[in-house]
Amino acid sequence: MRKGQITGPGGTHRLGEEWLANLHNPAALEKILASDFVHPLPTGDFVTKAQHIQFASTHLPPPNRKRRFDQMQVRVYGDVGIANGIVLTTDEQGRELERTVFADVFVRRNWALGSGQRAGECG
């Protein structure tokens, strides 16, 4: 298994590229997120798939922002894949604006994202 992929009988799922490229794309998120997706927030709220898609598609980042993985590790335990890492957000000059630590849990239902957890500034 290459870094950033879950490989199973259904083929290979490129976690990072698909997720980062479609953070604000409602049609893509509809496919990426499991029907019972939950996103726990630091406020103690638990956001559903529909709520997440609605928020993400209406709160777009500035167009000069780029995101990339600084680190990512993927482990597979049967029908569950866990991806942990750091996403760097930069401006058009490549200056670092934000570092976000993440933990995503994928389930082998076409490797849909079942839960995503984010933490703000790190390091």
Query: Would you say 72 and 57 are in contact if contact means Cβ atoms under 8 Å apart?
Result: no
More confidently predicted of 9 and 27: 27
More confidently predicted of 9 and 23: 23
- Domain encompassing residue 89: 5-119
Question: For residue 31, what pLDDT band results from cuts at 50, 70 and 90?
Answer: confident
Question: For residue 78, what pLDDT band results from cuts at 50, 70 and 90?
Answer: confident
The domain that contains 101 carries what CATH number? 3.10.450.50
> Which token pair is 49?
């798939």
* Rounded percentage of the chain residues whose pLDDT exceeds 90: 35
In the chain, the amino acid numbered 104 is: D
Distance in angstroms (rounded) separating the CA atoms of residues 23 and 102: 14
CA distances from 62 to 17, 24, 69, 91 (A): 19, 12, 19, 9
Q: Mean pLDDT over residues 83-106, rounded?
A: 90
Query: Would you say 105 and 122 are in contact if contact means Cβ atoms under 8 Å apart?
Result: no
Residue with tokens 């298994």: 1
Query: How many domains does the structure of the chain reveal?
Result: 1
Question: For residue 95, what pLDDT band results from cuts at 50, 70 and 90?
Answer: very high
Q: What does pLDDT average to over the chain? A: 80
Distance in angstroms (rounded) separating the CA atoms of residues 33 and 51: 12
DSSP run (H or E) holding 90: strand 80-90
